[in-house]
Amino acid sequence: MNALWIAGPLIGFVGMMSGGFWGVGCGWIVVPAMLILGFDPFDAVGIGLLQMVPATIPTVVRQFPEIGWRTGDPGRLLVLPLAVGAIGASLFGKMFNEKLFALFGGPEILQWMLAGFILVVACQTACSRTLVRADEFPSFSPAKRAGVFVTGVATGVLSSMLGVGGGLLMRPLLTSGFKVPEYFTSRIVRLMVTLTTLSGGITYLFQSGTVAWQVLWGAVLVSAGGFAGFPLGTRMHTVAFNAGYAQYIHKSFAIPAGAMFLNTLLNVTGCREASRIAMVVIAFGVAAGLVLFTWYAAHHRKENGGAI
């Protein structure tokens, strides 16, 4: 546990930098890191969820008005049904975790299913394009809004079961499924990550009628680094977006999706220690890559800029 004093904030900074850049959670790095440090799987998931909340709130509050909340704006057409489905479902994630593990005799079958899904997400993201500007926001019929609600339910369950924030599913569905421009996608996913991790994380914080202090303390230490990492990643996203690299941002999301696939594949094949170490190494490599990419974008602006 003494190592957590140093490793916790460092992992939080590196993980939440990527979280701020793509507008998603960083459970894919925090959960394996907590397992390496000796936490049991449920506590690791709880820490992975709760540590995101304090770091994301300042950025989410600042960007909240930019989503638009008048009649016909994305806030009402998209965020409200998404939030209702996600928050409601995330409260039952821990229960689903326990039931499914008991039903299948362990996590192996679920992990194979997850690996297949993540591989599809990574390939689809790398091979697709997204709308960019705020004025490209599409119309939303009642049927489409019902689909958004179902998406919220799915991301809420996935978030609280795996401690990944739900953005792994939400971001590609918004950009490719509902054709939401990158301008709104990053802001909406950041808001939803905060809501789902808070509601899902609470179920891991209170166990058997008492507070799981090891979860709370672990989340506090990791979030200490996230306070600096998340807004830095958000700023890096803004720099790259305004320099005209929105499509690169969209396609690069295949990197954390691919990392999740590798992690799941190694776990299923019994290489659990290798998977945890690999995620930590990949996370630091991704952080370094994002810094270099942002620097390049800032000094090599594309024509038409991409600014809104």
Show Cβ contacts of residue 74 under 8 Å, excluding neighbours closer than 6 positions.
67, 68, 137, 180, 184, 188
pLDDT at 201 over 90: no
Bigger pLDDT: 308 or 252? Answer: 252
Q: Is residue 245 part of a domain?
A: yes
Q: Is residue 248 part of a domain?
A: yes
When pLDDT is averaged across residues 202-214 and rounded to a whole number, the result is 82
Using CA atoms, how far apart are residues 166 and 174, in angstroms rounded to an integer?
12
Q: Is residue 285 part of a domain?
A: yes
When pLDDT is averaged across residues 223-243 and rounded to a whole number, the result is 93
Q: Is residue 308 part of a domain?
A: no
Q: Is residue 307 part of a domain?
A: no
Using CA atoms, how far apart are residues 84 and 108, in angstroms rounded to an integer?
30
Tokens of 35: 């397992």
Expressed as residue numbers, the domain containing 57 is 4-299
Q: Which of 14-28, 105-119, 262-276, 280-294 has the lowest mean pLDDT?
A: 105-119
Using CA atoms, how far apart are residues 191 and 77, in angstroms rounded to an integer?
15
When pLDDT is averaged across residues 53-82 and rounded to a whole number, the result is 91
Bigger pLDDT: 112 or 10? Answer: 10
pLDDT at 107 over 80: no
When pLDDT is averaged across residues 96-120 and rounded to a whole number, the result is 68
Q: Is residue 66 part of a domain?
A: yes
Show Cβ contacts of residue 45 under 8 Å, excluding neighbours closer than 6 positions.
27, 31, 97, 160, 161, 162, 163, 204
Q: CB of 19 within 8 A of CB of 25?
A: yes
pLDDT for 14: 92
Bigger pLDDT: 288 or 6? Answer: 288
pLDDT tens for 68-87 read 999 888 999 889 998 888 87
Q: Give the containing element (helix H, strand E) for 210.
A: strand 210-211
Q: Decide: pTM greater than 0.85.
A: no
Provide the pLDDT confidence category of residue 10 given band limits of 50, 70 and 90: very high
Helix axes of 52-67 and 4-22: crossing angle, nearest 10 degrees: 20
Using CA atoms, how far apart are residues 246 and 83, in angstroms rounded to an integer?
25
Q: Is residue 202 part of a domain?
A: yes
| Total of domains in the chain | 1
Q: Is residue 218 part of a domain?
A: yes
- Greatest mean pLDDT among 168-177, 232-241, 264-273 lies in 232-241
When pLDDT is averaged across residues 156-182 and rounded to a whole number, the result is 74
pLDDT for 308: 41
3-state secondary structure of 229: helix
pLDDT for 295: 97
Show Cβ contacts of residue 16 under 8 Å, excluding neighbours closer than 6 positions.
26, 52, 55, 56, 225, 226, 229, 230, 233
